[in-house]
Amino acid sequence: MLVAAAVCPSPPLLVPEVAAGAAPELDRARAACFDAVAVLAAARPDRLLLVGTAPEAESGDYPAGSAGSFRGFGVALDVRLGGGEPGPRELPPSLTVGAWLLERTHWQAAPPTARALPDTLPPGDCLAAGRELAAGDERLALLVLGDGSACRSAKAPGAWDERAEPFDAAVAGALGTADGPALAALDPVLARQLHVAGRAGWQLLAGAAEGADLAGRLLYDEAPYGVGYLAATWS
């Protein structure tokens, strides 16, 4: 059963070493993410699963001990997903950010594992995956990594789109009220057009939360660099 969830943005810029001189610009986002992880720890889960998106070739499950790196972003910084032997594959960027968050908050609760979803995964499959994860009596916590639209300004990675702000506002409302059905109803075609990186993970969360009595709290909702960054907890 799902006992807690945290939703955090996944840009490598959350890592101060990657952001360099721009690091202070994301101080509030970083602090919100740390607070969200603390809520997961307080829930005393039996299992923590990180959920992010990745290209099809990098999708699938990653065991405890899997390694990630920010060397592709010009920083000699490596992270590990908890203890254990390194897995055969390197964590994709979204999950690498999640592993960094756990290291920075000194995660000591349940051993973490991770799952990368293709960003093209249909909503029904996302919901079904969440339901399967939450089945049984095991106390499950989810750390869902993903960004909102990348079309909130003219200089955004996806350029400005008038549909972006309403889309992100709807997601923020759903996350802040633990409204799983609203997340389940997100349009994957529109999400793809707006370069949304969190849709699949949010819909997996919606499936896992079905039948759970959780309250939502929105911790962060801003769009630095024209990208929607959201942090929230369900507990």
Query: What domain range is 104 assigned to?
Result: 2-234
pLDDT, tens only, 86-131: 778 999 999 999 999 999 999 998 889 999 999 999 999 999 999 9
What ranges make up the beta strands (E) of 66-163?
Answer: 67-69, 78-80, 112-118, 140-145
pLDDT, tens only, 67-91: 999 999 999 999 999 877 777 899 9
Provide the sign of the torsion angle of the four alpha carbons 115, 118, 119, 121, taken in this order. negative
Q: H-helix or E-strand containing 219?
A: strand 216-222
Looking at the structure of the chain, the number of domains it has is 1
Structure tokens given for 10:
């996944």
Q: Which CATH number do you get for residue 128?
A: 3.40.830.10
Q: Mean pLDDT across the chain, nearest whole number?
A: 96
**pTM, entire model:** 0.97
